[in-house]
Amino acid sequence: MEWWRYFSKQPPNPVVFTVVAVLFIGFAAWRVWRTRPRLRALKQGIEGEKAVGQFLERLRQAGYQVFHDLIGVGFNVDHVLIGPAGVFTIETKTWSKPARGEARIRFDGEKISAAGREPERDAAVQARAQAGWLRGLLVESTGRNFEVFPVVVFAGWFIEQAEGSLRNMWVLEPKALPKFLAAAPQRLAPEEVNLASFHLARFIRANERDRAKP
């Protein structure tokens, strides 16, 4: 501004520059204020996913292999379990609880609603897509058809399931997952668990090498 004033031979005019500065500062402050809820949601999601991951690590004692943050094309799978009861994709949701009313999740077998409302992004559709992707990945890598079961966990919410809704997908509070796994029939022998885990670990290592390349 000083160089412009020097060459244009203009007298000092602090009023105009002050007004412009105030407008820019006000716009920047408004943008920061608008992004605060999103930043809080991102932080809450990261912390929730980390907490669920630490909880899932305990399942290794029950014969499960645990994988975290599996990267696909344009998406990621939060967690994968491979063990006696089969192969499971785990989608972690840390939705903010409503200011009023019950923090209740309802699953009718097709759709998930939170506090009586359907969210913009259907977590059930997302979970099923992740399971389908992992199934295809394992078929391509191993030549075996491993059934992959989708699971969505909601930390801190009360989960209400309609009768028969859990046949093709589980929607649970994280602490309920070990009980469901323990009650499930054994679908994989130890050698099948090792086979699927080996190929999935190899995919993860290859993916990490590709992302590390300049």
| Tens digits of residue pLDDT in 96-138 | 766 666 778 888 888 888 766 766 678 888 999 999 999 999 9
| Tens digits of residue pLDDT in 144-202 | 999 999 999 887 778 888 888 788 899 988 888 888 999 999 999 999 999 999 999 99
For the question of whether the overall pTM of this predicted structure is more than 0.75, the answer is: no
Antiparallel, parallel or unpaired: β 86-93 and 76-83:
antiparallel
The answer for residues whose C-beta is within 8 angstroms of residue 48's C-beta and 6 or more apart is 92, 93, 94, 155
Residue in this structure with the two tokens 């696909």, named with its chain if needed: 72
Locate the domains of the chain by residue range.
12-212
The answer for residues whose C-beta is within 8 angstroms of residue 83's C-beta and 6 or more apart is 59, 62, 63, 64, 65, 181, 188, 193
